[in-house]
Structure 1
Amino acid sequence: MPARDWAQLRKVLRNGDSFNREVYEWFRDADSNDTRKALRDDLLIGAKDSIPIAQIKIRAFREIIQKTHLKPTIIGQPKSSYDADVKYHPQIVLYFLQDKQSVPKGKTAKDARISFRLMHETSETLTEAELKNWANKIRTEFTQPSLYRWHKGKIIGLYLDKPNGFDFQVYAYSDEIAKTVIRKVIELTTKTYVNDKFRFTTPERNTDPTPPQVRVLGELVPEPQWRPNVFVTFDHAYANVWNDKSKRVLVDASGLQVNPIFHV
């Protein structure tokens, strides 16, 4: 690559919503931790970095820090295929992720999703302005003054109110935690929480923090952990709109989502 072209590309990687911004977002707590601050500064692409050095930094960030090669395999179908089969009201999804510091070495962070439908909207009536309004509500309620955090576990909190777009199934450490999370999401929509619509189940089985190993294709691997007790924190929120080419990210607290309406 000609030096002039590389200089321009390096500028792109260093400025705006690109690689260096992503590194800063990932290490946004680094100013109070000298070790993380030093690691962050080592990974930032510098004004005079060569192509090989930049490639090493990007690969180190992806594979050593983010561990993108360890992301779980998703068994599903493309959005376009799903949309061809099912027509639906717009959906708002809140995504929570286990705190990175609490994830055991070599394990994948546990997550949680809570969603609801905008029953008064369709893909034709929903506007960009309304999506921004939802993004602002979520930013206010789930990121200020700090990221919303709750305790996930084996108890299932259920809440069914289909006319208002609610069909919640929340796995929590207690029924009160499940109820609190559900109530908070409902309050986001300005609808009224009705206690008679909430119920919960408490399985007799307990989660095992060290599940037994089983042999898969000749190799011993641990069984998937059943309903682990972990804290999950707000990570991002997005909207699914029928016949839209991809999800619309409303709020991003991870620094990893593409083109969110609001960065946190």
Structure 2
Amino acid sequence: MSDTIDSTSLPDDFDPWEHLQKQYNTQHNLLVRKYFSDHDDNWVPNIGDPRSGLRTAVTMQDTDNDAIRSLRHNFFYDLLGYGRKNLLVYYGSKETIEPPVEGHPKIVFYFSQDSASVPSTQDYKADAEYSVRLMDLENTSTNLHSKLVEIANEIKTQFLEGKQGIILTKGNLGVIYKDPKHGFSNGRRILASTEADAIDIYRRMCNVIDAPFDEEKITIANPKKPSTVGNVTETQIIMGKTRKKRGYRRVVNVRFRYAYALIPGEPQPVFLIDTTYRYNPLVKI
């Protein structure tokens, strides 16, 4: 069977370019509508509202010329991240990143520095990632989806204030928590400026998975080397390019951004909640 279209079966006034544009606009706007699923069916453009303004900017119009259509496409797929949705980047063998505890999902909490607080002389954001294994739940559990929705709602309660993530001040202190029975099997470590800040995060994580928190399972690692203070000015040459050296355990604020579940046997992460609006989480904020 040939993929070539027989032009005799098309109307005499058929315009392939006009037809392509209309089909593209329709399919693009369906994806936009799904991405902005927090809006109701009677949504009306309102550029005074930040999120509504974003939807207005990426929605295709029949009157768009090629330049505007291309810009809307790039804005939606690249800047808002729809083109990267559900992609998982691997470095090295996939075999080496399989969860070490067979069958038990892992909940991952991601924090990063606010863009406005990153100095112009710094070429990367500070971030952090913490996780816990669900020891009372397996990947084949029939109630896995409902349990993840329940967990996502609790994350919303524990890690969001308003519609923004809570802030953790990173620092020099390594606060380790080891509780294999409840999913902290390898002695999870949080770098914080104070012991109390790290313990607060551990308590919230335990609340999310409905596990008891035992302060006696905390170990403190207080290195002699001090944190880097201020902007990093030292550089190094890597493959012919000048790169700034990373600061040592800088004191910096990072904000909770999103949480996702890694389920053994499921190749893609399941996003539970997301304050960046890049993903399609189980629970909206």
State the Cα distance separating 1:193 from its structure 2 match. Answer: 1.4
Query: Structure 1 or 2: larger helix share?
Result: 1
Partner secondary structure for residue 223 of structure 2: coil
How many residues were matched structurally?
A: 249
Farther-moved stretch of structure 1 (113-122 vs 44-53)? 44-53
Do 1:172 and 1:178's aligned partners in 2 also have CA atoms closer than 8 Å? Answer: yes
Offset from partner CA, 1:205-231 (integer Å, 9 cap, x none): 222531411122333221123222221
Structure 1: any 5+ residue segments left out of the alignment? 25-29
Q: Within 1, Cα distance between the matches of 2:232 and 2:266? A: 42
Offset from partner CA, 1:46-98 (integer Å, 9 cap, x none): 423234322234436777788x9xxxx963443x7644987341111111121
Partner secondary structure for residue 138 of structure 1: helix
Offset from partner CA, 1:181-225 (integer Å, 9 cap, x none): 112211222222111111212222222531411122333221123
| TM-score computed with the length of structure 2 as normaliser | 0.73
Do 1:168 and 1:182's aligned partners in 2 also have CA atoms closer than 8 Å? Answer: no
Structure 2: any 5+ residue segments left out of the alignment? 1-15, 40-46, 84-88
Q: Are 1:164 and 2:182 matched, yes or no?
A: yes
Q: Are 1:219 and 2:235 matched, yes or no?
A: no
Q: Check 1:190–1:232 CA distance in 2 against 1; reply closer, same or farther (3 A cut).
A: same
Q: Within 1, Cα distance between the matches of 2:36 and 2:66? A: 19
Do 1:211 and 1:224's aligned partners in 2 also have CA atoms closer than 8 Å? Answer: no
Offset from partner CA, 1:118-147 (integer Å, 9 cap, x none): 112211125211111111111222224342
State the Cα distance separating 1:6 from its structure 2 match. Answer: 2.2
Q: Are 1:200 and 2:214 matched, yes or no?
A: no
Q: 1:65-214 maps to which residues of 2 (within 5 A)?
A: 75-78=91-94, 82-83=97-98, 87-105=102-120, 107-125=123-141, 127-146=144-163, 147-166=165-184, 167-205=187-225, 206-208=227-229, 209-214=231-236
Percent of pairs with identical residues: 22
User: Structure 1 stretches (4+) deviating beyond 6 angstroms?
Assistant: 61-66
Q: CA RMSD in A?
A: 3.5
Aligned mate of 1:10, from 19, 25, 38: 25
Q: Check 1:15–1:149 CA distance in 2 against 1; reply closer, same or farther (3 A cut).
A: farther
State the Cα distance separating 1:10 from its structure 2 match. Answer: 2.1
Do 1:20 and 1:44's aligned partners in 2 also have CA atoms closer than 8 Å? Answer: no
Farther-moved stretch of structure 1 (54-63 vs 140-149)? 54-63
Q: Which residue of 1 aligns with 2:4?
A: none
Partner secondary structure for residue 116 of structure 1: strand
Do 2:177 and 2:189's aligned partners in 1 also have CA atoms closer than 8 Å? Answer: yes
Do 2:109 and 2:130's aligned partners in 1 also have CA atoms closer than 8 Å? Answer: yes
Farther-moved stretch of structure 1 (1-10 vs 136-145)? 1-10
Offset from partner CA, 1:140-185 (integer Å, 9 cap, x none): 2222434211111221110100011123211112222111111221
